[in-house]
Amino acid sequence: HAHNETDRTAAVLERLQSGANVGLVSDAGTPCLSDPGSVLVDAVQSAGLPVVSVPGPFAVAVALAGAGLPAVPFTFWGFVAKRSGTRRNQLMERLRAGPDGTMTHAFYVPGRDLRAFCTDVAAVAPDATLAVGRELSKIHEGWLRGTPATVAEALQDAQLRGEAVVLVAIEPGTEPEAGQLDVDALLRAALAAGRERKAALREISQQTGIGRRELYRR
């Protein structure tokens, strides 16, 4: 797992070098794709030992096949940052169109952060097309698609469980721009995330240059 991967790598290499076969399996997805394994696989490849990759479950591939958004090119960013302010800064930097047109960006989002994440996207890229695939391949699988703001509003409390793949399609001309933050969307995201009011207003004030009194009024 993520906390002992480095320590276990030497022992696995020793077993491989002695002629054993070793299988690397992760419990909820494909190794190395937002699951442990990259440290070990890198060490095995660097040692000149063979690595055989067997296709396994990859939630982003399932989402791209079912969302109806452009699947190529796409970028996979893994799990989102926990803090809304950090997420927004990452989104400002990452959400870009492709070299020849639309680019779809894939994120893993825990259910508890789903509404706040969609609101963060609405704050920085309000004209993007967003698709949320929840609990993919499981009994409670569900989809929501639309603008970030409409998806955030449509989410029900019962849907804020488990994990989701969120796809954000960015067309040329809809990329975030410096100074484009939607102040009201930032406030809604802070409320949705249950942030302490004073700390949230201080952070938003620093990001937008708007005084805390005006933010409090809004």
Q: What is the mean pLDDT of residues 112-126?
A: 90
| pLDDT attached to residue 181 | 66
User: Element (H or E) spanning 200, and its range?
Assistant: helix 197-208
| pLDDT attached to residue 70 | 92
pTM, two decimal places: 0.77
Return the top range by mean pLDDT from 7-11, 57-61, 73-77. 73-77
| pLDDT attached to residue 188 | 79
9 pLDDT band, cuts 50/70/90, is very high
Residue carrying the six token digits 């002992």:
4
Residue-wise DSSP of 54-116: PP---HHHHHHHHH-S--SSEEEEEEPPSSHHHHHHHHHHH---BTTB-EEEEEEEEGGGHHH
Q: What is the mean pLDDT of residues 91-116?
A: 93
| pLDDT attached to residue 208 | 67
CB 66 within 8 A of CB 95: no
Residue-averaged pLDDT of the chain: 88
Pairing of strands 129-134, 163-170: antiparallel
Structure tokens at 21: 């076969």
CB atoms within 10 A of CB 192: 20
94 pLDDT band, cuts 50/70/90, is very high
> How many CA atoms lie less than 13 Å away from 75 in the CB half-sphere?
14
Helices marked H in 107-159: 114-124, 148-154
| pLDDT attached to residue 207 | 65
Q: What is the pLDDT of residues 17-45, one digit of tens each?
A: 999 999 998 877 888 888 888 999 999 99
Of 174 and 18, which is predicted with more confidence?
Answer: 18
| pLDDT attached to residue 176 | 84
